Structure 1
Amino acid sequence: MIKSMTGFGRSENTDGVHNFTVEVKTLNHRYNDTIIKMPKHINYVEENVKKIIKGKISRGRVEVYISLEYEDDSNIDVKVNVPLARAYKRALDEMTNELFSDEKVTIEHIIRMPDVIKTKRLEDDENQIWLCLEKALEEALDNTVEMRIREGHELSKDIRERTLKIKKMIESIEKRAPLVVLEYKEKLKERVEELLDNEYKLDESKLANEVAFYADKSNITEEIVRLYSHINQLFECLDSIEPVGRKLDFLIQEMNREVNTIGSKSSDIEIGKTVVEVKSELEKVREQIQNVE
């Protein structure tokens, strides 16, 4: 069953210290384009994240948003720059004595000054970080893939229905093609006899040669056979569990080319109308296929 390239998934996981939230959004893209946004201090897990994504999603734009919150402050180190605080106090005392003699400098004034208090997060256990993130990432990706499968089912249904419609139109062209040659023969014979005005005998051999030439020139058997082959391959792709978006796109291009050839070879009005209808359906199928993984 084919998959859509659009989907969304979200998951959370905590180990008592780290609380991860992962959101995955996938969009249409010709290739596999992955964008990951996460806290800078855990960038060392990026390659692991990409590896898991590629194992589950082979085509499309994948946007992954990872946020991390800590359950407590046990891994935060707080330091006070005492020399800097003294320097600020002397400067503030001097300023208040000169300008605001009734004011007093308090600790609240000091701690508001830049770089007096600095916080630094202690080193995390990288393995613990990854184990917690991995679970949230796997679940978010699974939710995304599940949504892509559901949408793929609807895409497959629509593509299949339109392709069956195209097949019926091709069958009508196939049935019509032999009649076109016969009609051409009768019209040509009538026209020649009209021009000769029954004064000369019609040369049946020359007429047969002309009809044979027309039949060969307008023969669309090869195009019809290839179209049926492409249609069968398309149905096989719809039942495949492998990514087939690019192959489907190629098949539609080939089908469109064969239909154009039929249109250029045939001068029959009915076949011409059917060709236009087939091309219209092929374009609708092509638009749907742009969203297939």
Structure 2
Amino acid sequence: MTGYGIAHRETDRYSATVEIKSLNSKTLDLSLRLPRFLLDRELEIRNLVTKSLIRGKVNLNLDFTRPRATGGQGSIVNKEVLTLACRELQELSALTGLSLEQLTAVAHALPGSLRIPTDATAATEEEEETPWEELLPLLQQALDRVNQFRRDEGQALTSEILGYVDRIRILLAEVERFDPIRIEQVRQRLQTHLAEISSNEHFNPIRFEQEVLYYIEKLDIAEEKVRLINHLHYFAETAGLPEPTGKKLAFISQEIGREINTIGSKANDSTIQHLVVGMKEELEKIKEQINNIL
């Protein structure tokens, strides 16, 4: 679920950038940073992100700026305002008898005695709100790029996970190869024990037959091997589906682990148990990577 997407638009009226970062998480944990004029759109944005990204720790930042208004045709001096201020100061000097320097000092000492006029056109432009319809495609573009990032990562991740599944298949094939040897060893042990106890005067053949059947059934791993190979096939098929399958793969991996554990406990053979440890190791790698899948 790791992903990154950014979309930028530059116009003569504004500059807008949508940046989205996504990390692994079992649920959607969304953090938004929006300009003030889009706060009333927060719920709509959350719904769009939830529908598109589904899960992950997501940070969305929408940066919006307007170009600063400049003076008339690049001039840094507003001649009209400065001329008007000088004329008013001269009239006030003649009226009060104070010099321009004295009037300036008084003006600075009295808050509110000077009024700086604003450019009505610039103010209107600053207060103008950009329509949400102009920014919505930018958000969608960033979401699309996050999902494309996720898809590219998912393809590489799928190949890696299926490699672990193939490794479990190889180890299971080794279990199949050593299982007849294990069975023969069990048979020899049973024959030895049979020779020892059959000479005992308290020997009960019916009781002995029941014990042998129970013992053989307890050591038989044929069903577990069949179920395990079926789970591995099902896992590979599910991983190739186009829809989100992360939770389903997690359930299948649990079933795989259950069969591997049962084989290890019933085998009663050091060689097979070593192979079981190898299968468990590959399964743990699968579980770690499943957390990155939707």
Please tell me the TM-score bracket, short chain as reference.
0.7 to 0.9
Where structure 2 has 5 or more consecutive residues not aligned to the other structure, the ranges are 71-101
Distance 1:109 1:284 in 2: 74
Distance 1:224 1:108 in 2: 93
User: What is the aligned counterpart of 1:186 among 181, 185, 188?
Assistant: 188
Q: Which amino acid aligns with 2:239?
A: L
Match of 2:168? Answer: 166
- Secondary structure of 1:292's counterpart equals coil
Q: Deviation of residue 217 (structure 1)?
A: 1.0
User: What is the aligned counterpart of 1:50 among 23, 42, 46?
Assistant: 46
Distance 1:251 1:104 in 2: 83
Instruction: Judge conservation of contact 1:15–1:132 (CA < 8 Å) in 2.
Output: no
Match of 2:249? Answer: 248
Structure ID, larger Rg = 2
Where structure 1 has 5 or more consecutive residues not aligned to the other structure, the ranges are 75-100
TM-score (norm 1): 0.74
Q: Which amino acid aligns with 1:29?
A: S
Distance 1:134 1:215 in 2: 68
Instruction: Judge conservation of contact 1:28–1:61 (CA < 8 Å) in 2.
Output: yes
Distance 2:248 2:227 in 1: 16
Q: Deviation of residue 264 (structure 1)?
A: 1.6
Instruction: Judge conservation of contact 1:20–1:67 (CA < 8 Å) in 2.
Output: yes
Distance 2:58 2:110 in 1: 48
- Secondary structure of 1:12's counterpart equals strand
Q: Percent identity?
A: 29
Alignment deviations for residues 175-203 of structure 1 (CA, whole Å, 9 cap, x no partner)? 4334423321112213443x479899x99
Distance 2:139 2:48 in 1: 8
Q: Deviation of residue 131 (structure 1)?
A: 1.9
Are residues 1:156 and 2:161 paired? no
User: What is the aligned counterpart of 1:137 among 136, 139, 146?
Assistant: 139
Instruction: Judge conservation of contact 1:13–1:21 (CA < 8 Å) in 2.
Output: yes
Matched positions, count? 255
Q: Deviation of residue 15 (structure 1)?
A: 5.0
Q: Deviation of residue 109 (structure 1)?
A: 8.3
Match of 2:283? Answer: 282
Distance 2:48 2:104 in 1: 61
Alignment deviations for residues 78-97 of structure 1 (CA, whole Å, 9 cap, x no partner)? xxxxxxxxxxxxxxxxxxxx
Distance 2:110 2:142 in 1: 46
Q: Deviation of residue 44 (structure 1)?
A: 1.6
Match of 1:70? Answer: 66
Q: Deviation of residue 129 (structure 1)?
A: 2.5
- Secondary structure of 1:104's counterpart equals helix
Indicate the structure with greater strand content: 1
Give RMSD over aligned pairs.
3.4
Q: Deviation of residue 61 (structure 1)?
A: 1.7
CA 1:9–1:232: 2 relative to 1, 3 Å: same
Instruction: Judge conservation of contact 1:169–1:274 (CA < 8 Å) in 2.
Output: yes
Where do 1:195-210 residues align within 5 Å? 195=196, 210=211
Alignment deviations for residues 107-160 of structure 1 (CA, whole Å, 9 cap, x no partner)? 69858x9xx99x895352xxx531221121112112211111111111111101
User: What is the aligned counterpart of 2:16 among 13, 20, 31?
Assistant: 20
Instruction: Judge conservation of contact 1:34–1:61 (CA < 8 Å) in 2.
Output: yes
- Secondary structure of 1:21's counterpart equals strand
Distance 1:19 1:281 in 2: 49
Match of 2:97? Answer: none
Match of 1:84? Answer: none
Match of 1:29? Answer: 25
Match of 1:218? Answer: 219
- Secondary structure of 1:22's counterpart equals strand
Indicate the structure with greater helix content: 2
Higher alpha-carbon deviation: 176-185 or 101-110: 101-110
Instruction: Judge conservation of contact 1:58–1:243 (CA < 8 Å) in 2.
Output: no
Q: Which amino acid aligns with 1:63?
A: N
Distance 2:145 2:232 in 1: 32
Alignment deviations for residues 31-89 of structure 1 (CA, whole Å, 9 cap, x no partner)? 12222111233112222322322332122122111111124559xxxxxxxxxxxxxxx
Match of 2:105? Answer: 104
Distance 2:20 2:172 in 1: 42
CA 1:105–1:235: 2 relative to 1, 3 Å: farther
Q: Which amino acid aligns with 1:132?
A: E
